[in-house]
Chain A
Amino acid sequence: MRFTLGRPVFALLLVALASGSAVLVRPAEPRANLVVWTFSQAQADFFRNSSLPRQFENRTGFSVGISLMGQSGENIRLASAFMSDGRGAAAPDLCEIEIDAIGQFLRPPIRDIGLLPLNDFLARSGWESRIVASRLAPWSKTDPATGRQIICGIPEDVHPVAIAYRKDLFEQAGIDLAQAKSWNEFQSLCQRFESFWASRGFHDRRAIALSTSNPDELLEMLLQRHINLIDSDEQLHFTDAKVLGTLTFYARMIAGSGAVAGEPSPGVQWTEDLEHGNICAICAPDWKVDDLRRFSPDLAGKIALMPMPRFEPDDSATSTLGGTMIGICRSCPDPERAWELLEYLVLSPQSHESAIAAGDDVLPAVSQYWSDPAYHRPDAFFAGGQSADDLFVTLAAQIPQRVVTPFTYQAELALGVVLHRSVTFLRQQGPEGLDDACAGWLADAQNDIGRRIEFGKIEP
């Protein structure tokens, strides 16, 4: 038989039939009573491998389904589910959202937000006082009518930031980096470090990793000074004197005569920078320290952690980077049960024990668990057996408050552009006029973002 559409199409038809039967023969997955969406494979693995879902089902009779999807996919799907007035199967019961993505979900008026306000649950269950208050802020929205903070998500972490550095290399240079209490002291110690190693032929050895291509570290510094580019009253702070000061200091750490910083390698390759001694210190939240431990076992005994230096005495000695929340979707048919599951998976002592058992070192947002001895054991990975989590627990008590608005992403993008311009200016034209130029760019950024916020305003 001559198949008119041709051999290839005929072949594909056969393949389609064959694979189709394989696909159809698959048993349909039973829909669980409660569905949880997450974007993080680590979380999905943790939930599934732990006995938590099974225990929950045994206790309540409700089965739990964990659904993993790519982060952008989850955001799109949640946004669309909320948009298409998702009453029904489109939205899950519980969902995890990352801090960079929460802005858009909190944009609508309170009654239209797709996430269920959790204030009542928190008050009734007594968890409200046990969760670090400043970590509730990113996931909340102020009700313009009553001034109340409407909390839409439960934080799963704190993510305090410390400085992780190659203690062995600093000691060889005769420097005790932990002595530096202010950023100026830190910079001069780093300068001594670099000239020491340069005199021994290591001309490319940088003291600390500070990125020009993204403003994460700059934002960490601003945050420790209690500055959010857009604060919870939607006021802009680009033109704050402190922002200008931090920006010029940051630029001068990267370029010019006092430069001590290098660009970290992208992705998770920054661990290699530390391994090879190309860059010898980095601002590390607890999850980055985790990565270090996992990917660079050769660094055992060489790394130490110290609190962040300060600009001024009332700055915090730490900052925060990243964060995940878990929340209940408004369309969930059984919010009480969903809250029970949420408590169980994320807040309960059982959840905490499972996390410790799984070797998860990320500090939870529930401060009472910080006294767990597992967080205070000496750790052979760090120099002198320093307990990383011990330091993080101390720092977690001073976590500054991070505010996330629907326009924060764009504001941070704008800051990144200004940052890059400042570094280029410094490299090409030197320190003269840097302050004025930066002030001008920051003012432009403030105008631009201000216009966007005005434009994007909705009636209350």
Chain B
Amino acid sequence: MTRQGWWKFQARAAPYLFVSPFLIIFTVFLLYPLSRSFYLSFHRTVGPGHQMFIGLGNYRFLLRHDLLFGLAVLNTAIYTVAFLLLQIPISLGLALLLSGRGVRLKSVFRFSFFSSYLVGQVFVGVIFFQFFSPGGLVNQTISALLGRRIVIGWLSNPAMVLPSVLIAGLWLATGYGMVYFQAALQAVDPELYEAAHVDGAGRCRRFLHVTLPGIRHVLVYMILIGAIGGFQLFELPFVLLQGAGPGGRGITIVMYLFIMGFNAGDLGYASAIGWLLVAMLLIIFAARLRFFRTHQEMTA
């Protein structure tokens, strides 16, 4: 082949070559198990090579009859909404504070906030298990602040289960959000602030009309991964509550999936739960995208 011919060839083949290692590994190691789970979700599995085709049976039972699944969806949804409502403002607020001029020791603050993310869900569960025990750090702090001996059953009282998991989850993830928001705030063009200031806009107006739109992309990204993370939550409550928790109030969708798949042994049922979760998230995403697009069109 001539040199020019080779150059033309590789110019055209390059994109395919570049994605091919990714695509091949992706297809073999991700797509195959994924499609296998799709196939399994229409079966009932009871043993080696023993699968019974039941069509939509799993899905029907899940949606119509399975009370535990309903409980799991409720717990997960409440957790995710509460998590987002708290994490986004707190991490954004922290990032705003940290971005102010004249703030010293920025990198120290940043490191201390982000360090909680380094630990991973399992260890957060282990550490907070000790914190939330009747004689643990949290009760001790509250007792010290109020002057009386207060014992709250963080992990044994079903009403307190959600706050416990929420606190642990927020501790883990807020630093992560803060770092992202801080980077985003840095990227907002300072001239826009100048212009707004010149126009006489107060701090509140500046925030609403310059800052928020400027960090729009990161905001959406944070909400999306927060929603995904919230819906997929499993290890943290599982380790913290050592299972489903009192009265089943700690069950999440993925925890229920795990119990049904690896404790009761019905992998088909577990796969169906997984695909329902994906469907739920897709619906939420579609709704969000529609919401943001119309919002964009309105404000454009």
Residues of A at the B interface (CB closer than 8 Å) are 72, 75-76, 79, 82-86, 100-101, 103-105, 107-109, 112-114, 211-214, 263, 265-267, 269, 272, 406-407, 409-410, 413-414, 416-417, 420-421, 448, 451-452, 455-456, 458-459
Quick check: A213 and B155 within 8 Å, CB to CB? Answer: yes
Quick check: B129 and A108 within 8 Å, CB to CB? Answer: no
Quick check: A84 and B48 within 8 Å, CB to CB? Answer: yes
**Distance of B61 from chain A, by nearest CB (Å):** 5
Set A114, A420, A421, A455: member contacting B47, Cβ < 8 A: A114
B289 at the interface (CB under 8 A from A): no
> Can you pick out 24 interface pairs between chain A and chain B where the beta carbons lie within 8 Å of each other?
A79-B267, A82-B48, A83-B45, A83-B267, A84-B48, A101-B263, A103-B263, A104-B265, A104-B266, A108-B50, A112-B47, A113-B47, A213-B155, A265-B134, A266-B155, A413-B68, A413-B244, A413-B248, A417-B247, A420-B158, A448-B67, A455-B65, A456-B44, A458-B50
CA A211 – CA B158 in complex, angstroms? 12
B133 at the interface (CB under 8 A from A): yes
B163 at the interface (CB under 8 A from A): no
CA A214 – CA B129 in complex, angstroms? 16
CA A272 – CA B248 in complex, angstroms? 26
Set B48, B61, B245: member contacting A455, Cβ < 8 A: B61
CA A229 – CA B65 in complex, angstroms? 20
Closest to B154 in A: A266
Set A406, A451, A455: member contacting B265, Cβ < 8 A: A406
Quick check: B247 and A416 within 8 Å, CB to CB? Answer: yes
CA A17 – CA B48 in complex, angstroms? 41
Beyond A272-B135, A416-B244, 6 extra complex contacts between A and B, CB < 8 Å: A112-B47, A112-B50, A213-B158, A265-B135, A266-B155, A455-B57
Quick check: A420 and B263 within 8 Å, CB to CB? Answer: no
Closest to B49 in A: A85
CB-defined contacts of B47 to chain A, threshold 8 Å: 82-83, 107-109, 112-114
CB-defined contacts of B134 to chain A, threshold 8 Å: 265, 269
CB-defined contacts of A214 to chain B, threshold 8 Å: 243, 246
Quick check: A104 and B129 within 8 Å, CB to CB? Answer: no
CA A85 – CA B48 in complex, angstroms? 5
Set A105, A409, A452: member contacting B259, Cβ < 8 A: A409
CB-defined contacts of A101 to chain B, threshold 8 Å: 263
CA A79 – CA B258 in complex, angstroms? 13
Quick check: A410 and B264 within 8 Å, CB to CB? Answer: yes
Quick check: B264 and A213 within 8 Å, CB to CB? Answer: no
CA A316 – CA B80 in complex, angstroms? 47
Closest to A86 in B: B48
CA A131 – CA B50 in complex, angstroms? 33
Closest to B245 in A: A213
CB-defined contacts of A85 to chain B, threshold 8 Å: 48-49
B156 at the interface (CB under 8 A from A): yes
CB-defined contacts of B158 to chain A, threshold 8 Å: 213, 420
Closest to A104 in B: B265
**Distance of B274 from chain A, by nearest CB (Å):** 15
CB-CB under 8 A for A72 and B133, given A83-B48, A213-B245, A451-B65 = no
CA A100 – CA B243 in complex, angstroms? 12
CB-defined contacts of A272 to chain B, threshold 8 Å: 135
CB-defined contacts of B24 to chain A, threshold 8 Å: none
Closest to B251 in A: A413
CA A421 – CA B67 in complex, angstroms? 15
CB-defined contacts of A455 to chain B, threshold 8 Å: 57, 61, 65
B116 at the interface (CB under 8 A from A): no
Most-contacted residue by chain B among A266, A416, A448, A456 (CB, 10 A): A266
CB-defined contacts of B246 to chain A, threshold 8 Å: 212-214, 416, 420
CB-CB under 8 A for A103 and B264, given A212-B246, A266-B242, A458-B52 = yes
Which chain B residues in 238-256 approach chain A with CB under 8 Å? 242-248
CA A20 – CA B244 in complex, angstroms? 40
CB-defined contacts of B153 to chain A, threshold 8 Å: 213, 263
CB-CB under 8 A for A213 and B156, given A112-B50, A114-B47 = yes
Most-contacted residue by chain B among A85, A86, A211, A455 (CB, 10 A): A455
CA A214 – CA B247 in complex, angstroms? 8
B53 at the interface (CB under 8 A from A): no
CA A299 – CA B21 in complex, angstroms? 64
CA A76 – CA B157 in complex, angstroms? 30
CA A100 – CA B67 in complex, angstroms? 22
CB-defined contacts of B66 to chain A, threshold 8 Å: 452
Quick check: A266 and B48 within 8 Å, CB to CB? Answer: no
Closest to A110 in B: B47
B262 at the interface (CB under 8 A from A): yes
Set A109, A112, A265, A421: member contacting B133, Cβ < 8 A: A265
**Distance of A288 from chain B, by nearest CB (Å):** 16
**Distance of A267 from chain B, by nearest CB (Å):** 7
**Distance of B174 from chain A, by nearest CB (Å):** 25
CB-defined contacts of B280 to chain A, threshold 8 Å: none
Closest to A263 in B: B156
B46 at the interface (CB under 8 A from A): yes
CA A84 – CA B47 in complex, angstroms? 9
**Distance of B190 from chain A, by nearest CB (Å):** 27
Which chain B residues in 18-77 approach chain A with CB under 8 Å? 44-50, 52, 57, 61, 65-68
CA A69 – CA B94 in complex, angstroms? 41
CA A83 – CA B36 in complex, angstroms? 13
Quick check: A212 and B264 within 8 Å, CB to CB? Answer: no
CA A266 – CA B243 in complex, angstroms? 12
